[in-house]
A = this chain, B = another copy of it.
Amino acid sequence: MADLTDRQAAAWTSYQRMRVRLSGVLGRELAHATGLSEADFDVLVAVHERPDDTVRALSLRCGLEWEKSRLSHQLRRMEQRGLITRETCEEDSRGSVVRLTERGRELACEAKRHYDDAVRRYVMDSLTPEQVAALAEIADTLLDRIQVTHK
């Protein structure tokens, strides 16, 4: 249980600052361009990736790695704003099925364009291909190290 080295501590500090600034600017651009939060965006994109723009809530939850209450609250808000609908599931009447509305589908596409563009401008354009590859490898290594700890 040795202390972090100076290099490690400095790397961690840089990472933390980068992480906060980056998600801040991306979130703000997204909100400004489309009125969506990052949570809205994550849900819309995840549902839009499924056939029929439809997905079992449980499956959505696992894909996003969200707590069940978080998803429930988020879906309630999105339903109120007319982005999705919820139906009870056929195979398992405990479950529910999420479907994009027309407006949800449109927003998902539009938001994804804006978002990807912002990722390109703020991240990809500043990094060399080697750095992008290194980042991916680092992230995958850590992902492998940190298993999901769902409730």
Which of A's residues lie within 8 Å of B, judged by CB?
Answer: 1-4, 7-12, 14-15, 17-25, 28, 65, 116-117, 119-120, 122-124, 126-127, 129, 131-143, 145-146, 148-149
CB distance from A93 to the nearest CB of B (A): 31
Q: Are A11 and B146 in contact (CB under 8 A)?
A: no
A4 to B118, CA, bound (A): 10
**Contact present for A17 and B139 (CB under 8 Å):** yes
Contact B146 A4 (CB under 8 A): no
The distance in angstroms between the C-alpha atoms of A3 and B149, with both chains bound, is 33
Closest 5 CB pairs of A and B: A14-B139, A11-B136, A18-B139, A134-B134, A126-B145
Question: Which of B11, B18, B145 interacts with A122 by CB under 8 Å?
Answer: B145
- Which B residues are in CB contact (< 8 Å) with A10? 136
**B131 touching A14 by the CB < 8 A rule?**
no
Residue of B nearest to A12 (CB): B119
Residues of B with C-beta under 8 A to A1: 117, 120
Nearest chain B residue, comparing its CB with the CB of A144: B126
